[in-house]
Amino acid sequence: MLIGLGLLLLALVLLIRFNPRTEFMLGGGLINLGYRLQDRLSSFDFVHDESITPEQVWKELERQNELAGGMRGLFPRTPRHPVVAVLACMDGRIDVSELVGDTRHYYYVVRTAGSVLSPAEQDMLELAVLNGVKVIVLTTHTDCAAEAAAVDPKLREQFPALISLMDERVKRVEEFMARPTIRDAIAEGKLLIKHARIDTTTDRLVVEVQHHDAH
């Protein structure tokens, strides 16, 4: 009985060890098990407890970092060369690791409110291309607070810098695509730019076809 169980375990370990896909999928399963365990717990219930102070929030973050940093010291991660750059909104519900279904460090991530692309972010993405990025995914997402703010007269008045970038979102993307490094890399087939809208509740990417994709 014990020998049989041992053999079964050994077969399982070998199957996983020599099949990268199976190993990757098992890792994903275990990560999701971790989400199941942590997700329903609440450290900061702001709705019911407004007495939580900034200092308490910081202490909790510091304590968690202590644990996480200690773990990372025990189990170091493999350095990777990013091949994808993702532009995403800063919305806390979006998890880029979930978006790409991968926790390995193959991704540069630029996050801004409303996925706005000011000249500084354009520089960041261009730098990423010079560092070897082959795919850029420019995303927006459903139920975006910045999109809502852009059509709210009061908020338009309160956040003029963000709103003007929201109004110019399409223009800024075109401006980025027209940068010589980017334009040439696309023309030479070395760079692919994809546009997608994220379903915020599932992190699913819905790819959008843009007029400049046609040629």
Sheet containing 192-199, strands listed edge to edge, beginning at the edge strand earlier in sequence:
107-112, 84-89, 135-141, 192-199, 204-208
Is 89 one of the binding residues for Zn ion (CB under 5 A)?
yes
Q: Which of residues 2-31 bind Zn ion (CB under 5 A)?
A: none
- Closest approach of Cβ 62 to Zn ion, in Å? 28
* 63, two tokens: 């304590």
- Closest approach of Cβ 146 to Zn ion, in Å? 5
Q: Which of residues 92-111 bind Zn ion (CB under 5 A)?
A: none
Is 84 one of the binding residues for Zn ion (CB under 5 A)?
no
Q: Among residues 91, 121, 176, 185, which is the contact residue for Zn ion, using CB under 5 A?
A: 91
DSSP 79: P
Q: Among residues 88, 125, 138, 144, which is the contact residue for Zn ion, using CB under 5 A?
A: 144
Is 86 one of the binding residues for Zn ion (CB under 5 A)?
no
Sole window of 87-95, 101-109, 174-182, 205-213 interacting with Zn ion (rule: CB under 5 A): 87-95
DSSP output for 71-134: HHHHSPPPP----EEEEEE--TT--HHHHHT--SS-EEEEEEGGG---HHHHHHHHHHHHTT--
* 33, two tokens: 């098990």
Binding interface with Zn ion (CB under 5 A): 89, 91, 144, 146
